[in-house]
């Protein structure tokens, strides 16, 4: 089997590395600090913005998966050098560049998001994510690299902790039957990308030449509001009805004074104040990965969080 290099070991990077290892590939995961070895997975500590070192680490790889993400407050400063370094490594090694993207680049839109929409974000985080893909796509069109982007909505599922709107802020309280809070309107439809489906799509397109040169949306179940997802999770956990409270702009404004993360969320607040729906029909018409049924997503997520909380109690 071939060598695959995964940059980043957050939820998506870790899930992708494990899926590749399960399929018998050699896997090298690159992070700034490194990690303990796992079966079939080598962890290497280096700064991925160092294109020379990254290129050496990726020599002989069939694919490079760009799954790293700086902290929110540092996106505008750190994304451009990271994107440039990853593109340089892909060009020098000939490996397929598989970029994990998101939906920020579209900006606020009316109606479901498709891959045909222009990347018209006005906020800095949306613009910087769009620019990273545009750089890779231009190099692909010039014949200098082979690149593809897989765009996910908010992550959901086992392994999703920080940054998930149905993760650390919600699951521990939900499992105790306590009220939970939601950013924005808890009743608007929202797309949730199940983490194993994200990893499955990243791995699938790496080996599909007809996927390269464009962006694809991760196969995603129909959009469901925060309230509906909490109701499903609470029913599975048998913790009874759980109250869901939307956080008002005034509350968020006060919190933003003390929290850099909350301040950064102001740019993407629209995603939770209005429908935020990803259309993944193009991917589903072309490839094999399908969205995991929501009941299975909920079952696995509740089980994972119960195990995690029991282990850390």
Average pLDDT, the chain: 93
Q: In this structure, are residues 64 and 95 in contact, taking their beta carbons and an 8 Å threshold? A: yes
At residue 269, the pLDDT reads 85
Q: What is the C-alpha to C-alpha distance for residues 167 and 161, in angstroms, rounded to an integer?
A: 5
Q: In the chain, what are the domains? A: 3-158+192-221+277-292 (3.40.50.720)
Output the 3-class SS for 162-174: CCCCCCCCCHHHH
| Residue 51, SS3 per DSSP | helix
Q: In this structure, are residues 236 and 299 in contact, taking their beta carbons and an 8 Å threshold? A: yes
At residue 261, the pLDDT reads 63
Q: What is the C-alpha to C-alpha distance for residues 295 and 233, in angstroms, rounded to an integer?
A: 9
| Residue 136, SS3 per DSSP | helix
pTM score: 0.95
Q: How confident is the model at residue 209 (pLDDT cuts 50, 70, 90)?
A: very high
Q: What is the C-alpha to C-alpha distance for residues 286 and 171, in angstroms, rounded to an integer?
A: 35
Per-residue pLDDT tens for 240-276? 899 999 876 666 665 655 566 666 677 888 999 999 9
Percent of the chain past pLDDT 90, that is, above it, reads 82
Tokens 């390269």 label which residue?
212
Per-residue pLDDT tens for 38-90? 899 999 999 999 999 999 999 999 999 999 999 888 889 999 999 999 999 99
């Amino acid at each position: 089997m071939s060598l695959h290099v995964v940059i980043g070991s957050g939820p998506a990077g870790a899930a992708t590395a494990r899926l590749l290892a399960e399929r018998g590939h050699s896997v090298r995961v690159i992070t700034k600090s490194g990690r303990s070895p796992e079966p079939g997975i080598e962890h290497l500590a280096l700064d991925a913005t160092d294109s020379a070192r990254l290129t050496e680490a990726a020599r002989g790889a069939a694919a490079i998966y760009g799954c790293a993400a700086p902290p929110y407050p540092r996106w505008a400063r750190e994304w451009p050098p990271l994107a440039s370094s990853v593109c340089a490594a892909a060009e020098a090694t000939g490996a397929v560049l598989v970029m994990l993207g998101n939906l920020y680049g579209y900006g606020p839109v009316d109606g479901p998001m498709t891959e045909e929409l222009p990347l018209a974000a006005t906020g800095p985080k949306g613009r910087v994510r769009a620019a990273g893909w545009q750089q890779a796509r231009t190099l692909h069109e010039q014949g200098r690299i082979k690149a593809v982007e897989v765009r996910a909505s908010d992550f959901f599922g086992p392994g999703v902790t920080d940054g998930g709107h149905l993760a650390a802020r919600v699951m521990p309280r939900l499992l105790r039957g306590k009220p939970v809070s939601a950013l924005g309107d808890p009743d608007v439809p929202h797309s949730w990308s199940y983490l194993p489906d994200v990893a499955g799509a990243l791995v699938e397109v790496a080996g599909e030449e007809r996927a390269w040169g464009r962006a694809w949306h991760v196969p995603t179940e129909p959009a469901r509001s925060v309230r509906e997802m909490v109701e499903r999770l609470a029913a599975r956990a048998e913790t009874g009805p759980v109250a869901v409270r939307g956080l008002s702009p005034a509350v968020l404004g006060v919190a933003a004074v003390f929290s850099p993360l909350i301040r950064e969320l102001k740019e993407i607040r629209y995603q939770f104040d209005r429908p935020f729906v990803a259309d993944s029909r193009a991917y589903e018409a072309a490839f094999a990965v399908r969205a995991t049924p929501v009941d299975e997503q909920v079952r696995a997520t509740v089980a994972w969080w119960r195990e995690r909380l029991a282990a850390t109690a």
